[in-house]
Structure 1
């Protein structure tokens, strides 16, 4: 083998290995949570049909301060809701993973823990990986239907418990961002807040059911990756950290994509990342925004704001 070619191969392999190491550091793997089934009988919510075990194709895992790490699995029957630790007086945060994700994905404990540490909250983790599977085209096709089912579940939850839509905050990562948009649309935009964490871009630029500002009373987009995310405004307020193309400390697009939920979690805990309003995308990319300020992320269920914002961050938590 020629020496220059050999050196090039070695250098390429080194770059790949470093990139994988950074990504692995940014995306920890969590063990499966302990799950307590709350009234397994009745009519669990299912998409199209139940699987062979008779269980739902969509799972709802509830965490509260009474059960911060041991999930209670909810079903679409009244006894299931009322025998759980769900408290309709508290805010409800619903977290939805993206393609190839599950209830074990790193974003779930990251977002769950900061919300529970901050206030008494009902955190519901949605798992739809048995529908999304490992085929991205099928996952995209099924996203709106799963979102509508989530909307129907939240309507049922409200009816049997008295929980108000004004206290519900839906948070979706990547493909999950468009899923929660469909859920909000199913409820005629009555949900208090939706946060889209680097909403998926592939095939969604012109998709009629992508996340939009009409899906909730307040819709916020946090865009961190040019490779995987949708790179234009979709909500009332859209934040593009560090320009929204890639993130400090990330050597791979996957790392930048995952940074969206890490930034969000940091803002719930610290509420410290402040964006400047931009008059154009050019101004945003050149870091010349000088308009009004608005805090990115946080847990304010009644948050309001509008416009395009740039926020500059560091490369490690809390950024």
Structure 2
């Protein structure tokens, strides 16, 4: 119960259009947004958590599914089971190849556009194992409940990867964990469960509401290199507006994106930009001294590529870049 109460706390600060570092945005209780189909959704930050579901998730987190895609089965997945050695040995998983783990966000499942697009671009780019983790049962609950259950889901993913390592010998240094929205905090907790040993952790517009001062959020120690791409970090944005990683990128300032008229569009642009970067590696971020420079587009520091699939990537700092309104951006 103490954990739940902590997750529901929001500290109040002055609202600002400039992304904040280590501060909690004063979100209103209700955040309304429209998806690509024009369907309106309401996020209620004071909604009561489903304690029955949470207790079950913490007792039995194996509702998650681990779906393997390779170049031999790019469209039809194979299910890998936690503590099920045969499911791994008899699958097309190849421990000699890098491992890309993709985790969707709130109100999504294995069919999320982010999962489909990222699986396709990674398999087209190189011969890798792609594992899509579906956590639909919790992700389909109300936002407060899903937020409270993220640490348990993330830890279980970490335990699954530890099991995968023990069965196949697949090195942690060949693993890249990628999460969108709430999924970004899931992969953060997963990397933390593995002692920060995985090569890369990438947060695609990590969820903002209830997360700015949350101790379970994505952070720089969750992997050897941790990167975050912020695209909807404004006062009413769905993404976190603060720096959380080794390297934090703020495309177009990190609040709104060219061609987008809704918060949902801004939010999803993070995975769209990342998918494009895997193919082209063409986004050049310029380092900024502070968040004001990010907002004013006055950054003059060193250059670091945003995104891509480089498992040996390194970098630290805040970065600004400008993109176009349509693919490849």
Trace 1:127-206 onto structure 2 (pairs within 5 A). 127-206=134-213
Calculate the TM-score normalised by the size of structure 2: 0.81
Counterpart Cα distance in 2 of 1:213 and 1:256? 24
- What's the offset of the Cα at 1:69? 0.6
Q: What is residue 46 of structure 2 aligned with on the other side?
A: none
Per-residue deviation, residues 266-299 of structure 1 (Å, max 9, x unmatched):
0000000110000111111111111100000000
- What's the offset of the Cα at 1:47? 5.8
Counterpart Cα distance in 1 of 2:78 and 2:166? 20
Q: What is residue 231 of structure 1 aligned with on the other side?
A: 241
Counterpart Cα distance in 1 of 2:174 and 2:58? 26
1:196 counterpart SS class: strand
Matched, 1:23 2:33: no
Q: What is residue 66 of structure 1 aligned with on the other side?
A: 72
Q: What is residue 63 of structure 2 aligned with on the other side?
A: 57
Q: Any stretches of 5+ residues in structure 1 without a counterpart?
A: 1-18, 26-45, 51-55
1:108 counterpart SS class: helix
- What's the offset of the Cα at 1:88? 0.5
For the Cα contact (< 8 Å) 1:94–1:124, is it kept in 2? yes
Matched, 1:264 2:274: yes
Calculate the TM-score normalised by the size of structure 1: 0.84
- What's the offset of the Cα at 1:138? 0.7
- What's the offset of the Cα at 1:49? 3.2
Trace 1:109-124 onto structure 2 (pairs within 5 A). 109-124=116-131
- What's the offset of the Cα at 1:311? 1.0
- What's the offset of the Cα at 1:24? 3.8
2:59 counterpart SS class: coil
For the Cα contact (< 8 Å) 1:47–1:149, is it kept in 2? no
Counterpart Cα distance in 2 of 1:204 and 1:130? 21
For the Cα contact (< 8 Å) 1:23–1:250, is it kept in 2? no
1:23 counterpart SS class: coil
For the Cα contact (< 8 Å) 1:47–1:57, is it kept in 2? no
- What's the offset of the Cα at 1:232? 1.1
Q: What is residue 209 of structure 1 aligned with on the other side?
A: 216
Q: What is residue 9 of structure 2 aligned with on the other side?
A: none
Counterpart Cα distance in 1 of 2:271 and 2:139? 20
For the Cα contact (< 8 Å) 2:58–2:149, is it kept in 1? no
Q: Pick which of 303-312 and 132-141 moved more.
A: 132-141
Structure with the larger RCO, 1 or 2 (CA within 8 Å, 6+ apart)? 2
| Aligned pair partner of 1:220 in 222, 227, 234 | 227
For the Cα contact (< 8 Å) 2:81–2:88, is it kept in 1? yes
For the Cα contact (< 8 Å) 1:184–1:191, is it kept in 2? yes
- What's the offset of the Cα at 1:175? 0.4
Counterpart Cα distance in 1 of 2:200 and 2:281? 17
Matched, 1:48 2:59: yes
Q: CA RMSD in A?
A: 1.5
Counterpart Cα distance in 1 of 2:319 and 2:100? 24
Tell me the matched-pair count: 275
Counterpart Cα distance in 2 of 1:156 and 1:203? 31
